[in-house]
Amino acid sequence: MEVNRLIDFIETTLIERARALLADGHVQAFFVHAAVSIEFLGAFLDKKPLRARQQSKERFQRSLEVFFPPSYAYLNQKGLLYDQFRNHVVHSFLPSSRLRLVHDPSLASMHLKRQEGKLILEAGKLLVHLETAAKQLQLGLQKERYPVKWMEGL
């Protein structure tokens, strides 16, 4: 029962909300949502409480390593995506000056590649990877490979 509620929460809060933000043209909000979602997924890869303090960097990194294509973890080896993407968009709603956040399907092939000295993150491509990552966690929760962590109010 609890696992089904958590799986539904992941579906509605992570996946459906991410899709809706992009569909409604809220690109900046999508990137904030995606950064927090990546970290949230990583919370199920440790044995600490969901709301454990000072876990954001580790959880973000582990999520990229386990649930995302290898290029994400490779780029984040020295904390690049965590520092320049996650921290910047979560705390200031803007990426670092070394990133270019776009929502342009014609740039999907440039996702996680550099152009004019900036790393490009294309929202549509990130959404596909986020959806896949969330589905992997949902499946792992169903198969009891990951701990069911509970949140108040869920």
pTM of the model: 0.90
**Contact in structure between 44 and 142 (CB atoms under 8 Å):** no
- CB-CB neighbours of 50 under 10 Å: 16
Name 28's Cβ contacts closer than 8 Å, sequence gap at least 6: 89, 93, 101
Cα angle 39-86-110, degrees, rounded to a multiple of 5 = 105
pLDDT above 70 (res 1):
no
To 5 degrees, how large is the angle CA 17–CA 115–CA 93? Answer: 35
74-115 pLDDT, tens digit each: 999 888 899 899 988 888 888 888 999 999 999 999 999 999
